[in-house]
């Protein structure tokens, strides 16, 4: 496995982010074209297909959102424990979840100082990632 860094840390799953997204988009567009061009006696079934396509869109979005929320909670707990193990104190209270998620890439040596700096300067998650000198890979989050 190659070394992870800021430029290659994002992960896309082709089957989900590519195929599934475009398949749902095609169904959504096709369902509204079908609704627009259908005969009056077929409007009800065509509108039901549109509703199903919209439900698929919401499903696609919320499945991802819910999975990321669960991962964020786990990362927040892991990084709080790591900070406590390294410093004997919990993470600074001013850190947001997105900042903590970005801090997971920092090595143990720079993690406590970077956490303090992120809280004091209200660094963005991108700013935190760019400030990391020794990248700690996370291959599990997708």
Give the chain's domain count.
1
Query: Domain for residue 1, yes or no?
Result: no
Q: What is the pTM of this model?
A: 0.74
Q: Is 88 left (phi over 0), alpha (psi -120 to 50) or beta?
A: left
Range of the domain at 46: 6-131
Radius of gyration of the chain from Cα atoms?
Answer: 22
Q: Can you give the pLDDT of all 142 residues of the chain as single tens digits?
A: 577 767 667 777 788 888 999 999 999 999 999 998 878 888 999 999 999 999 999 999 999 999 999 999 999 999 999 999 999 999 999 999 999 999 999 999 999 999 999 999 999 999 999 999 998 887 776 6
The string of DSSP letters for 18-86 reads: IIIHHHHHHHHHHHHHHHHHS-GGGHHHHHHHHHHHHHHHHHHHHHHHHHHHHHHHHHHHHHHHHHHHH
- Whether 138 maps to a domain, the answer reads no
Q: Closest Cα to residue 98, out of 59, 141, 139?
A: 141
């Amino acid at each position: 496995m190659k070394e992870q860094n800021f430029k290659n840390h994002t992960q896309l799953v082709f089957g989900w982010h590519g195929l599934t997204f475009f398949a749902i988009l095609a169904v959504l567009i096709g369902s509204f074209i079908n609704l627009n061009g259908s005969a009056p006696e077929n409007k009800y079934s065509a509108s039901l297909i549109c509703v199903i396509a919209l439900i698929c869109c919401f499903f696609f979005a919320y499945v991802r959102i819910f999975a990321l929320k669960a991962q964020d909670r786990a990362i927040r707990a892991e990084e709080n424990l790591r900070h406590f193990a390294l410093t004997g104190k919990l993470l600074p209270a001013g850190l947001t979840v997105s900042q903590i998620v970005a801090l997971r890439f920092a090595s143990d040596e720079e993690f406590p100082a970077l956490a303090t700096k992120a809280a004091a300067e209200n660094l963005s998650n991108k700013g935190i990632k760019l400030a990391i000198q020794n990248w700690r890979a996370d291959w599990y989050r997708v």
